[in-house]
Amino acid sequence: MDSTVLQTPIEYLKGVGVTRADVLKKELGIFCFADLLKHFPYKYIDRTRFYKIKEINTDLPYVQVLARLTNKEILGEKHTKRLVAQAIDDTGTIELVWFQGIKWIEKTLIIGKVYVLFGKPGMFNGKAQMAHPEIELYGTNNQQQIGNLTLQPAYNSTEKLKQFGLDSKGLQKLIGQLIDQHVNQIHENLPLYILNKFKLNDRVTAYRNIHFPADATHLNEAIYRLKFEEFFLLQLKLLKNKQLQTQKFKGNIFSTVGKYFNEFYHNKLPYSLTNAQKRVLKEIRQDTQKGSQMNRLLQGDVGSGKTVVALMSMLIAIDNGFQTCLMAPTEILANQHYQTINELVGDDFVEVALLTGSTSKKARKILYENLENGKLKILIGTHALIEDKVQFNNLGFVVIDEQHRFGVEQRARLWAKNNIPPHILVMTATPIPRTLAMTLYGDLDISVIDELPVGRKPIETLHLYENQRLRMFGFMKQEIAKGRQVYVVYPLIKESEKLDLKNLTDGVEVMSIEFPLPEYRISVVHGKLKPTEKQFEMDRFIKGETQIMVATTVIEVGVNIPNASVMVIENAERFGLSQLHQLRGRVGRGAEQSYCILISNHKLSRDGKIRLDTMVKTNNGFEIAEIDLQLRGPGSIDGTQQSGVLDLKVANLVNDQQLLTLVRDCVINIFEHDPNLLNPENQILHETLKSKGEGLSWDKIS
Ligand code: ADP
Ligand code: MG
């Protein structure tokens, strides 16, 4: 898209040369002209005027406000300690917050004086706020420049760069020069009608104004255009890939719904489906009649009933003469699915088998035979399923549970098991925020089960501190006396003294005193056990021979024990939100009221506190996922590393969700009306698709 001139090595830019080029490469990763052009300011300083408090909004750059201090106080303790002050002008109140240097700043602030506040404005609870503003008494020397300066960009630089004259100002100068000299090489990459429709800056204007904005309005327009462009390019590529896949892979057509499905639906299904389950089945049904391969992601909270949807889809495949398989990430989970499905279908209905690392040679031999002659209809297992020895007669439908543990490559190996690739349904119980799903799985179709089966009592969640453990023991006894069972989960297995984690072994010791034999029995499960030992301990709990299961996170997925009504999570502050939510989902599966008790240390980080509060506040996995995304950013969420979202420079998945939705719809619309981008007005998109070096690494995506 950009002309090759912009790919010119940076040393050839006037004023750079070999030495400076070296430092630019090492310190900022700037190798060519285009890289420099995309080295955007990280903030802007507006000393041109004073803003009124009521004008303040989060879109503004760094601004200054003239206000009278009315109040100051130190709040919180230890980790949460902060200085909060209020200041007013004739239009409103602004809150000022400092988390560092509290004592010193507090001393210098004088109530009743007028100050110049300078900082990035934010909103908190609907009120104007500045965190860590620069603050000076009004009328001192520094303020004399007011009125002479425009919006000043500030660029990231380093000590090393500064030695070579490349501080923020120096970089600004280089960029200015680059734009002036090569403005003709910056080519538009969006169709004109899109620019018009969404009132976007053209590309040159956007680059100019993000570096040299005349005012906040121009700056915001430039940023908007560049965000739009980033999302647009990402979606264009993803949706193009999706289209190519659909064209490339023919798909088996499941034309009928026959006796397997109907018999199950009418005579075996022990409950009625939720509307969400019905909707998803319909989506799968439509997909599998189109003649192209289905690649669908099924998202649904723990306990939302994904398994039965998967099973019923498999039955349709079987009705059409195909075999099916279900792949799970762990042996425990594979076992669980095997049991669940066997219970659902009953005896002599359809041939189901289990294949894991523990399957005996003899059993394998029979299994392989029945797979190849087509008698075996449903194969459930771990990644043992993708071994070369496993040959199907006619594999038509594949379910993969817990996607993020399998790579794309593994998915592809299942496709290869048939001439026409099987339809693929990926199930995940880790809800992903919608915007992230649109980028992370932008090339998959997405189905969501957003409704729990009726009659479920929401799990009650409670946060206790370590010294309240006795209360918890009392509660556990109460529940056990009612016939219920209890999980106690620990984050680590071997104690790391530094982290002062209660380890599982200690926990078991304490608990065996608190819950003595013969009245109480405890199962212990952790990662160091052999699969058979693990299964033995699990089985004791499943059969109700033990009342308490002490475990590390191995139970995170896969156990379904409706009689377990209490989930205790030790050192809950050490777990991530999605993991806490997964663990909690292990209870609340029966008709009884269930509970989740989060035990934590007294010392909680800000994020730790937010995590635990969130868990107490909501059971909704999608809500939890949103908060997780806000806390950790997209980079730490499984799968994002390959998704291209981390290369976004201007756009932000958390703050720009609306824009992303708008852009995705826009791109979908383009493909719907002009699948092959043949319209002259879309001509430009061919170039855009072909281009590299757009700041997004396409190779990583597909
Ligand atoms: P997921 O895999 O989505 O976590 P499961 O498929 O394991 O959820 O289902 C959780 C539990 O809910 C199972 O015990 C299942 O039998 C039950 N269940 C599923 N669908 C329904 C429904 N429509 N009505 C009542 N119970 C259901
Ligand atoms: Mg499940």
For the chain, domain boundaries:
1-45+157-185, 48-148, 188-248+654-668+687-702, 259-449, 460-618
Nearest ligand to the CA of 560 is 1
Q: How far is the CA of 328 from the centre of ligand 2 (A)?
A: 10
Range name among 136-145, 208-217, 314-323, 671-680 with the lowest pLDDT average: 136-145
414-438 exposure pattern, b = at least 16 Cβ within 10 A, e = fewer:
bbebbebbbbbbbbbbbbbbbbbbb
- Using a CB cutoff of 8 Å and minimum separation of 24, what contacts does 79-87 make? 79/603, 79/604, 79/605, 79/606, 80/606, 80/609, 85/109, 87/115, 87/117
Spatial separation of the C-alpha atoms in residues 210 and 174, rounded to whole Å: 15
**Higher-scoring residue by pLDDT: 300, 3:** 300
Cβ–ligand 1 distance for 586 under 6 Å, the answer: no
- Tokens at 395, concatenated: 């594999």
Among protein residues, the one with the nearest Cα to ligand 1's atom 11 is 303
- Bridge-partner residues for 86, per DSSP? 71, 95
DSSP letter string, 257-282: --HHHHHHHHHT--SPPPHHHHHHHH
Read off the pLDDT band of 556 (50, 70, 90): low
Residue nearest to ligand 1 atom 19, measured at CA: 305
Query: Residue 527's pLDDT is what?
Result: 74
pLDDT for 697: 35
> 309 C-alpha vs ligand 1 centroid, how far in Å?
9
Q: Hey, is 387 helix, strand or coil? A: coil
- The lowest-confidence range among 333-347, 558-572, 638-652 is 638-652
pLDDT at residue 411 in the model: 61
| Residue nearest to ligand 1 atom 26, measured at CA | 453
| pLDDT band (50, 70, 90) for residue 49 | confident
Question: 582 CB under 6 A from ligand 1?
Answer: no
pLDDT in tens, 101-110: 888 899 999 9
Tokens read off for 23: 């430092």
Cα–Cα distance measured from residue 585 to residue 301, given in angstroms and rounded to the nearest whole number? 8
Alpha-carbon distance of 95 to 586, in angstroms, equals 43
What is the tens place of the pLDDT at every residue in 594-617? 999 999 999 888 889 999 999 999
Q: pTM for the complete prediction?
A: 0.68
- Of 104-118, 338-352, 632-646, the range with the lowest mean pLDDT is 632-646
Q: What mean pLDDT is predicted for residues 518-540?
A: 88
Per-residue pLDDT band at 269 (split at 50, 70, 90): very high
pLDDT at 126: 80
Least confident of 113-117, 205-209, 634-638: 634-638
| Predicted confidence band of residue 145 (pLDDT cuts 50, 70, 90) | very low
Rounded to the nearest integer, the mean pLDDT of the chain is 86
The structure tokens 């979202």 sit at 645
Write down the CATH superfamily of domain 259-449. P-loop containing nucleotide triphosphate hydrolases (3.40.50.300)
- Radius of gyration (C-alpha) of the chain in whole angstroms: 30
Out of 1-5, 133-137, 464-468, give the one with best mean pLDDT: 464-468
Q: Which residue has the tokens 């109040």?
A: 71
| Contact status, residue 269 vs residue 400, Cβ threshold 8 Å | no
Q: Which CATH number applies to 48-148?
A: 2.40.50.140
State the closest ligand 1 atom to the C-alpha of 274, by its place in the atom list counted from 1.
23
Give yes or no for residue 149 having a pLDDT over 50.
Answer: no
**592 pLDDT more than 90:** no
Is the pLDDT at 470 greater than 80? The verdict is yes
Ligand 1 pocket check for 312: Cβ under 6 Å = no
Could you tell me if the CB of 223 is within 6 A of ligand 1? no
Q: Whose CA is nearest to atom 5 of ligand 1?
A: 305
Task: Assess whether pLDDT exceeds 50 at residue 498.
Answer: no
Report, as an integer, the average pLDDT of 561-580.
Answer: 91
Which range, 245-249, 310-314, 510-514, 584-588, has the best average confidence (pLDDT)?
A: 310-314
CATH T-level assignment (fold) for domain 460-618: Rossmann fold (3.40.50)
pLDDT of residue 554: 66
259-449 and 460-618 in the same fold: yes
* Atom of ligand 1 minimally distant from the CA of 344: 16
Q: Is the CB of 381 under 6 A from ligand 1?
A: no
Q: Decide: helix, strand or coil at residue 252.
A: coil
Q: Which is the closest atom of ligand 1 to the Cα of 308? A: 6
Judge whether residue 522 has pLDDT over 80. Answer: yes
Q: Judge whether residue 32 has pLDDT over 70.
A: yes
